[in-house]
Chains A and B, each alone.
Chain A
Amino acid sequence: MNLPLTDPVLLAQDIPDVLTARLRSSGQAVCLRFSHKGDLLASGTAKGTIAIFDLETNGVARKLKGHTTGRTVQSLSWEKSGRYLLSSSIDWKVILWDLQDGSRVRVVSLGAPVYIAELHPQNHLQCVAALYEYRPVLADLTSPTKPIQHALPNLPLRAPHEQDANPEKADAKHFTTVAAFTPSGSHIITGTTKGWLNIISTTTRQTISSLRLCSKPILLIRLSTSGRDLLVNASDTIIRTIKLPDLSNPALSPDQIHLDVEHKFQDVVNRLSWNHVAFSSNADYVMASTLMNHDIYIWERGHGSLVKILEGPKEELGAVEWHPHRPFVAATGVESGRIYLWGITTPQRWSALAPDFSEVEANVDRKKNWSNAVWIWKMKSWMS
């Protein structure tokens, strides 16, 4: 409701520029996720605890303990309304939390350390998880006692001429490292250790399309809120954005899916590799934290040019997240485990302090405009 009174200049600013806060809970934060409304920030620690920060007060709203102590929380995923949160850990478990009272709605052991787990966007009792050296799992948590786990394929869909001569040997060590739902939940997009992207239908659990990006493992894939843009971080030091067809359209046939790389972002000079990547709220920007470096790089997607380097903390940054609708960025420090927040500065508009004050340009000749200058002086002495 503060929109009508907000300075339009500030509304036009869409990239954060200054470090505004540091958050700290007990434990070293390693993963982050904003709630869909953007009022809460969930953080998982290396010790297995989860802290929910209230971004209005920058205080801890809730602490969640349930994962095996000492095992890193790997991923967090919010349900739309912000009531439920899914966490996964290398202790094999995924836990669905009810934040109303902090209780555990479901605790499911998936039988292997979890890389990443994500809730179905429309149904918080369904999730997909990528497991360490195992097939990814689509889990139905509807039954409180017996969750149903469906294994998903690891292997890409290949044209006959792409098949290796000895497929069994070639696919022996081919595993999925990351999995994500499309915004409608109709498809799951996975990335593999051999640089393949697979699009899997949620209903048939069959791979409908595949694309090989590189030969190195894929580290992270993220979708924009529209579901039409894909962001892929691979260990070949290149971040790629890919345009997706409208997968929620039921008329789309698998043959029509053509995945093309739109942009490749990389640091050619320093050969930096990227810890973690994220889209901005409307996917106009791409952001990445760098290995062995203290900065966050922000590129715009129109031309693929670097527009901003966020500085501040004197340590390497791990997970980075962009607020769902504000120019506001959160990142974890790799050494301290603190959470750093970047935002925009909002200077006080002096004209708001009294109805008859008006903003004066900095270069107004004060001698000619003496009465105005006196007003400003009076105003400033009030405020101080």
Chain B
Amino acid sequence: MRALLREALGRPALLALALGSPLAAGAGAVVRAWFLARGIQAAFLEAAPPADLLPYAVGAAGSTAVLALARGLATAGGGALAAEVKAAVRQRLAARVAAAGPERLGEPPARVAMALSDAVEGLDGFFRGYLPALAEAAAVPLGILVLVAGFEPLSALVLLVTAPLIPLFMVLIGRWAEGVTARQWRALFALGAYFADALKGMATLRVFGAEGRARKTLERLAEDHRLATLRVLRVAFLSALVLELLATLSTAIVAVEVGLRLLAGRLGYLEAFFVLLLAPEYFGPLRALGAQFHPARSAQDAAATLARLNAAPLPRPAPACPPGTPPGLVLQGVRFRYPRGGGGLEGADLAVGPGELVTLVGPSGAGKSTLFKLVLGFLDPDAGTICLNRRPVRPDRFAYLPQTPFLFPGTLRENLLLASPQADRAALRRALERSGLDEVVARLPSGLETPVGEGGLGLSAGERQRLALARAFLKRPEAVLLDEPTAHLDEESEARVLAGILALRDEGVPVLAIAHRPALIGAADRVVRLERGRRLAGEAERAV
């Protein structure tokens, strides 16, 4: 929350507008109440002629204009503040995500994406609604209280006693309602989930002639949900009753109290009527603040998520490579422990020379993936050095084929050019040929312009691997890392991808692959086993 407030303080003009305008509106309402009270007194008790009433009417109209302007500015200012803060938070978070890399964030990608879109959006209510309401609730009732105390202390006392009850009740009720609605939310969720599944599974339902039954189930679930929810709401909405009662009853008590004292002649009409007019202005901001309880709570949750991600560690500067390090990819005494335990490396040594294909084998959990993340620079080793051609590694010096290469929504060409935006036609053609992607492209009616990814053509696992290979050929990296590139492929596709990998190696690039399948292991120049003890058994095993 503190970070968010700092963000708002960085925009003092908007902040002043968002916080100051509600106060101006409150002041406008008070001034208008006075003009009105005075005017009515003049018309009713003094039977003043129109000319004498005119100043009060003009005063009330003028203060209305101030009030309207201030209300408008409050809405515009709060909205602008929320918009600017969200944009800034988004930009900063995106930069942090990119700087930290996928592994240091400590959250799965889907959660990171949610944080960037939904969590940031969750801040909206805090700046647009809660902050202005808080400023108004903090200052306006207090101002009115002081004002009333100046000429009518007893009414001020009534106001003072009843005021804190409203936000207190609203928070209590808000908390309680949260629990209740959470339970009801599950019932609604069941209904929603069944609706979604029934749509998704319509083919299945129709195959079994069950579409009519599904419709009935949907009807029954909705009715169940309605009855269950109404039972709960009957109790939950008592809160609305209590609140409404507090606010209106307090006004009623003030009215009767000043009325009786007026009758007894202890109070003038102007003062009494002025107090009555001020009572709604006094309670209004408090009720408005209570209504902001929920947005404020969700903004708090969102802020916690964002703070966690923004605190993700950045890459540490890597130590220089020891003199005499050979060219190629060289790991020396690499140690790594996950902060939360589980897996890791305890002194790994490995060298992959230029033009060499080394496959890494070993049981799952032996640390193969961890080693890849370290080599790519997505994690920092606790000790040891990782060098590529005698310089510390950085992600952008590699080509990398994960198990399921990511397809960016866009055309096939855009996905390829990611690897090398300036690639010319000849380079593109060569990459297509050597990766075997040209066969895939030839089958597509729109060729390289075919849209892929979400909303486009879903490429098969083998086609994706060939695309990733083509990216690798385009980039001309200093080394290539492959994470089980043939895991999901049929034999035909596997053979083609394998040929591509060997072609890459033959260009003189060090290639390191994680593999389970025999074909890739068989094609390796060297096979290295990562032991359970998380120590690399050097270069013990040789390929047959």
- A, B from the same assembly: no
Footprint of A on B, CB under 8 Å? none
Residue numbers of A with Cβ under 8 A of B are none
